[in-house]
Amino acid sequence: MTMGRLDGKVAIVTGAGRGIGRAIALAFGTEGAQVVVASRTPSTVESVTAEIIAAGGEALGVTCDVAERAQIETMVSAAVDRFGHLDVLVNNAQGFGTATSPEGSPGYLPLEAFPEEVWDFTFQTGLKASLFAMQAAFPHLKEHGGKIINFGSGNGIGAMKGTGAYNATKEAIRSLTRTAAAEWGKHGICVNVLVPTIVTDSARDFLEQRPGIEEKLIAQIPLRRMGDVNTDIGPVAVFLASSDSNFITGQTIHVDGGQILRP
């Protein structure tokens, strides 16, 4: 029997119902991890959990709205109750719009008139959700070390116009990541950030709202393409979750075809 790179590891992936989160959850399952598939939509949780199990993996589906701290804490407790421990946390989920009117992408809102409710919901589901999940996971990771993978964005690094709240929360997550890496390294906890340029449903919605921007974006990418959600992001997440990355922490890793090199 072939050994997987994540055999014996228990991993939580938020926002795992679709897109990048789904790709990471499936990759983890293929590599032998026991995967907690967490997302807000029960149907997608069930679907991805079933995919992992059908492929011979082990998974637990947990419906979790990361806007609610209590649900995040329940998610972590469910993982430990089911599998006995926790090794990896992937904070991939991110909400847009507002709590009462969620949207699929950041949209475009000028900074001088940015709605407070959109700002608050973006931070609640981004920065604060990442922090709350990290705090809930910490007592379990502290016991034997572990890996935390957070998500930044090229929007924040490049100061994309019209997405001020998203830019700010993603840059704050990068700072949070470095802080956690500095404080928790003594416990053997590695904390890193992925910044992807990957085609997902959310990214597609974002690009369709801005005609012509996809062509301009691709022209700025040295590899001249957007990343594929199934082949370009999962393997990098597996690397960061595995023992191969035990001496890497506090880093921002760009899975962007070299987009960060643009002027």
Residues recognised as catalytic: 166
Dihedral (CA of 19, 24, 30, 33) sign: negative
Q: Beta strand pairing status for 189-196 and 146-151?
A: parallel
The DSSP symbol for 143 reads T
Spatial separation of the C-alpha atoms in residues 208 and 166, rounded to whole Å: 18
AA identity, residue 143: E
